[in-house]
Amino acid sequence: MSEATGPVLAADGTPLKRSLSRALRMQKLRALALVAPLLLFVLVTFIAPIADMLFRSVENEIVENTLPRTAAVLADWDADHTDLPGDDAFEAAYYDVFIAAERKLHTRLGTRLNYELTGVSSLFRKTGRALDDIGEVYQDQFKALDKDWDKGTPWAELMGTQAWIDGAQGWKKADGPLDRLVVRDDIAALLPATAAAYQEFADFSILEDDKSPLKEEPWTLVHSALYTDLAALDVSGYGGPRAEMLKAADALVATPEFETINTREALIDIEDGWADHEVWQTIKTYSPKYTSGYFLNAVDMQKSPEGPIMRDEDERIYGLLFKRTIFMSLAITISCVLLAYPVAWILANLPMRKANLLMILVLLPFWTSLLVRTSAWKVMLQQQGVINDVLVWLGLVSDTERLVMINNQFGTIVAMTHILLPFMILPMYSVMQTIPPTYLRAAKSLGANNWTAFWRVYFPQSVPGIGAGSILVFILAIGYYITPEIVGGTTGTFISNRIAYHISSSLNWGLAAALGTLLLAVVLILYWAYDKIVGIDNVKLG
- Smallest distance, Å, CB 102 to another protein? 25
Q: Based on CB atoms, which residue is closest to another protein, 130 or 404?
A: 404
Exposed (0-12), middle (13-18) or buried (19+): which is 146, by Cβ within 10 Å? middle
Residue 173 Cβ vs another protein, minimum distance, rounded to whole Å: 25
Residue 102 makes CB contacts below 8 A (sequence gap 6+) with: 204, 219
C-alpha span between 227 and 233 (Å, rounded): 10
Distance of closest approach, residue 511 Cβ to another protein, in angstroms: 11
Shortest spacing between CB 193 and another protein, in angstroms: 36
- Kindly state the smallest distance separating residue 477's Cβ from another protein, in Å: 9
Nearest CB to another protein, comparing residues 4 and 33: 33
Secondary structure of residue 15 in the 3-state scheme: strand
Minimum distance of another protein from residue 386's CB (angstroms): 6
Q: Which residues are CB-neighbours of 27 under 8 A, at least 6 positions away? A: none
**Of residues 266 and 344, the one with the C-beta less far from another protein:** 344
Radius of gyration of the chain (CA): 36
**What's the rounded Cα separation, in Å, for the pair 267 and 223?**
17
Nearer to another protein, 132 or 531 (CB): 531
1 or 394: CB nearest another protein: 394
3-state secondary structure 358-412: HHHHHHHHHHCCHHHHHHHHHHHHCCCCHHHHHHHHHCCCCHHHCCCCCCCHHHH
Shortest distance, CB of residue 509 to another protein, whole angstroms?
7
- Closer CB to another protein, residue 40 or residue 463? 40
CB of 111 to another protein, least distance (A): 17
- Dist. CA 311–CA 331, nearest whole Å: 29
Identity of the residue, 330 or 520, whose beta carbon is nearer to another protein in the bound complex: 520
Residue 183: C-alpha distances to residues 164, 211, 319 (Å): 9, 17, 55
In the DSSP assignment, the letter for residue 289 is S
Contact 63, 280 (CB under 8 A): no
Which residue type sits at 217?
E
DSSP string, 75-87: TTS-TTSSSPP-H
